[in-house]
Structure 1
Amino acid sequence: MPLVYDTSGNITQDKNKGITAVSYNHLNLPYQVTFANGGTIKYTYDAAGMRLSKKVQPSGGALVTTDYLYSFQYLNGVLQFFPHAEGYVKPNGTNSYLYVYQYKDHLDSRDKALRKL
């Protein structure tokens, strides 16, 4: 059987994806995922269950850290993007930003993304 569950219904193993163990915290949120190749993913959360960080340690590779500060997302300490009312903003060089506007259809699906330089 490719998927293994615990008594709470959480996936603890996924043999199709090479996941050998998933550990959960007291809020029933995953805090560590271990892969058959030796890689791991570790998550941290605040008391309300909002994700604060994700640390990916590939087998034999460099650690990659994603930090979440409210809606701001950082990759290895470098700002990646933050949202605005109609989409998100990405840094685009020194003191320059790329504004991405996302438009949705009547089903609330993202239909178009337009960039303003």
Structure 2
Amino acid sequence: MDNSMATTDENKPHIGMQFNSDNEAYDFYNSYGRRLGFSVRKEYVNKSKKDNTTTTSRRFACNNHGIRRKDKHDIDVNSPREETRTACPAHIGIMLENGKYRCHDFVEDRP
């Protein structure tokens, strides 16, 4: 019987995982995405209202996450760019708690 599915992979993100910085979390998720065959982009960031420099939460998503908005200048476009976003739901969300960033949201699904 194969137990490879029963063991947890320490190189796979999971809720509760901790990082020392948001850059460390980005590097981790980027290497995870590279192994699975997708690129990562920084989707959003929330900063502290006290000093406006400390990151309190952030989300990293698959570069195909979401759908591109319709271009306002669509009428004047001679050669439009190819659509690259496919609404991929894969992402990871981190939050600052007690001086460390903790993963609070993780979606693994890939189309």
- TM-score (structure 1 length as normaliser): 0.24
- TM-score (structure 2 length as normaliser): 0.25
Larger radius of gyration: 1
Q: Higher strand share goes to which structure? A: 1
Structure number with the bigger relative contact order (C-alpha 8 A, sep ≥ 6) is 2
